[in-house]
Amino acid sequence: MSINRTSPEDPDETRNLAADPAHHDIVARCIQGISEKMLAQTLRALVQDGLVWREVKPTPPPQVTYGLTEFGREVGEPLTELFDRITQRLSPRSPG
């Protein structure tokens, strides 16, 4: 599962949660256009479903890290392949 991040520091960075777990603030920056409430609800549901793990380090302030579980990686691979095939087949629509 990849999340794209567009930032002034590294505009082409793509993070892969399977290989590189991410802190909450990085996940939030990578998913543009989502409210904090919706992000929290979605991450909570993914954790409950066993697709994503969550670790909280009791530091001031607490550091929350997310990553894909083994099950999340197993499910994500074929879905990513399917998504890639669909987007390759669909041509951009011209305004009209």
- Give the domain range for residue 43: 2-89
Q: Which two tokens stand for residue 22?
A: 């991410």
Please work out, in degrees rounded to the nearest 5, the angle formed at the alpha carbon of residue 27 by the alpha carbons of 12 and 60.
125
Amino acid at 80: T
Q: Which two tokens stand for residue 59?
A: 């530091």
Kindly state whether residue 54 falls inside one of the protein's structural domains.
Answer: yes
Amino acid at 56: V
CATH number for the domain that contains residue 6: 1.10.10.10
> Taking the model in full, what pTM does it have?
0.68
pLDDT tens, residue by residue, 3-58: 544 444 443 444 566 667 888 888 888 887 889 999 999 999 999 999 999 999 99
pLDDT tens, residue by residue, 52-64: 999 999 999 999 9
Q: Please state the φ and ψ torsions of residue 49, each to the nearest 5 degrees.
A: -80, -5
Q: Which two tokens stand for residue 67?
A: 């990553």
Kindly state whether residue 16 falls inside one of the protein's structural domains.
Answer: yes
Structural domains in the chain (count): 1
- How far is it, in rounded angstroms, from Cα 19 to Cα 1? 9
Q: Which residue has the tokens 């099950």?
A: 71
Please work out, in degrees rounded to the nearest 5, the angle formed at the alpha carbon of residue 54 by the alpha carbons of 64 and 19.
95
